[in-house]
Structure 1
């Protein structure tokens, strides 16, 4: 059967033209050159047809323009093709790419050909950078695609920053295509990459993978996604990912996408994910080696899943949100609860955390229910920082928190913040004989407590924001005190001569004293600041 219309063979015509034989076309050539050379920057494609009956010199005019000296200087790359009457778009693109690269092309899809053609026209040639180890692409605000880099065998660190028009990351970046699903060949994309950073890609919606016959990022250990607010989906083919940092992504879906195959995670940092209400339970169940979890600025966050309690390797949990109970986190060493404006209850079962070294509860203005007993059970506790809670929690209730702490021999660093109308300190803290550093802040005391001499191991004392402080008497012995910091005490007029008794004092820092005269500061062996 004869086809209705045959594809005509490509006509082989060279681009050489003898200028002396061209007559009467100068005005036409000048006008076309002007249009080409003055094209606006916002126009990506400019097509100028030259039409007329055969023999008028259309081809001659095109040759003259192609070989013009100004055109050669203006365009780094030029391609001239003579096409048949009918030609598939893919074949047309193949001809252009072959002309540019002067190499025979393997069978590839139209999308891959377009991608390679764009890279070639932009002067991006993978083969010229075979040993590249670290690459950062930044500031391409109008670029809608990323050059192909997946075949860089030795690339270990890749950063993509500021691609504001980029909406999708996919096969074009990887530079591979599987045309035969049944093929036994396995391709590796970014085979040596260890760290990948996606930052400030404000239009990114989707990050696609390749489903069949490709190992995606087989060696990736650290992934950071920052300020990609519209990102909804992400590939889940990371085999040995150890550290995940997601910040400034509105949707919780990228985290959920990762749940299916991720099993190697050790460090998880999540910040400003607006829609996140709960850490994916499946992620915590599969990543039993998690040691460090940090959650911050997730306004919709409500709870932690039950699987958190079985993370026996967890050593550090820092969260700005209600965290619930932490039973059975027996390896936890650092716990910080900070800036939880809506946190009301904090049922801390400290006896289930025998490894805890540092505990901080700060800036939780609505916190009412606090642990009443148990701090003395933290036999390894080194540092403790406690702020006041809700205003309805009075001093007596606040003081209960410290019950039994005097029996805690491990604690060396203590910071206690009070309220301006509390005129005394919790009595228990004056009995910590092993304490080396103490910060007393925002209390309404008029003088340091008289039993300060019990702190015989104290090396650093800070009195901050105690605005009613009027007297300082250091007649009691603190033989090891080396650093004394006193700040923001508007009513204090003079320092006691008892400073001379502090035989080990090396540094004295005085700040924001309105009434204290320089002559009222006794001369001694200290180093004033």
Structure 2
């Protein structure tokens, strides 16, 4: 995975250098000169790395060279992020209305600037020389771009086995219902077009080709179609070659069945070119396509497709028994069935994986001892050479664009069967710089990240999709074998540490997930290199950890410690100056330290469900890069900090707690909410009863009508049904495109006039709204 990681980090270095050279550095010529030299060095290796991303690296010497380059490139990125962060802090302090004296002294002292510039030039030179030294060895490691296949064969040139319709299928279990559904489609004459298409979609190893073969050789199919053709297309979608195999004269005016097996083409124009030659068949003609990707299906725009899923447990067990050469009475007599079911969990219903394990278990004796030993020892040692399934799945990964490869590999940090929140995943990927902005600046990074996720979904890397009321995907899981694949390609870059393993980090690790919070107390070696630290134990913890101190993880970009029972956050968290994403939801602390204001790169702060949280630090308003601030279900939150309207990059706020303006001079008024015009999706405004005693609480400038929200919740905790409450409700006029409205605790006697004007309203709810009519 080093090749694809390096491409991403080199991009990050380039962005830092362009910014620093162009407008940030007003220090010495020596600094600028060193940065420009480093830029030249990075440019020199960028082309080689882009080529490496397209190849399957095989040679150990090349892998070793890339690994050495990875270490120093990471160091370079960390160094330049240091400088960029320092420059950002300088702009924030000098450009602000209030100057913090000690910070100003650092930036405005000429002697300090000279010392800092000298240090900066020295560190950049040191990094550049390290990269140059490794880069100069590339010929010794046979890594020249123009040296043929020494970098590994190009992905698109990888040979694929030719498939045939008449291959004898000895071990086929299940799929009766799938066969019936596909045959029903093929024999159905009621289609507008003469030629209709049905794609069969599923991950590698599920048996798409086997299913197509079973259908192709079915007697009813033989009688219905006058011409049957089977073409193995594979990775090279060559229209001329496909037509040569078909022989055009055979199809015109005839009712044909054409199977296009193993299609990878995502180019619609190529498909349309082929389609021109295939639409002249007689009415009732059908084309059956097998593919791994929904994106391939979209090039064809068919009315429907058949999704192939894994075998259920009973059929998986039957297939394993047949492959292992065991009879049912042998399994029952020797109590092997339950052990076999545990082993089958690794296969996740994929026939190719079951066959691999079945072949390896042929020589096992019918004893619990042998099968338990296989389960706990031998099974984990099955490598890619012994397995048919991993190379098959690996091909799907190889054909991913490089920006999606690193996103997919990152997902191995989450446990198997973990329900992923796509939005949270996008925020974590953003924190690592894996999501790149489009040329169109109007497109938010969150939207680009959503497109990344949807493309991985269309390629069958995710499954078990959950949707909300509006059809938005709210949850998904990764197929167990896809999780194995992600771990395989991630290598030691992404690892999991739990209580049963030694608390140490391999030298190459940059992203770590833990299920044991005691790991944080061990200060294990290698923590300073980490860019991600994720706590992934889904069991809620009550009071197990009192004090959170993560100051040893200085280079973190993402920190996620949710539901851990933490009741105090150390002020040292402000030292994590690289941090982009901070998740602390479901913990017990009452406040965050004001040092959090030092996290000037922070983009996501998730405090959802911190029910003891009473206040947010005043310094929060300095986090001008903040895009996501989720304080939903923080019941004790008394107010929002004054100045929150400065956070104009906010895309999501979650909850706005109305403060008692007459008592607190540090509470934000609702007029500040109206400045956050980038807010979208959901918003809750709570504590609206506090505006009753403050006639000026709703300033004339206040309006949420400009906020493009999908859902709005308005909460009165102690509504008395007064005229003042009715006036507050009347003023809370949302955008007319609002889809969901919930009003809680309001006891007014009449609805607000704007409710009937919400022309896109899908659902409206009134909770504890007595007397409301």
The verdict on a shared fold, with TM-score over 0.5 as the criterion, is no
Q: Which has the larger radius of gyration?
A: 1
Q: Which has the higher contact order (CA 8 A, sep 6+)?
A: 2
TM-score of the superposed pair, with normalisation by structure 2: 0.32
Q: Scaled by the length of structure 1, what TM-score is found?
A: 0.44
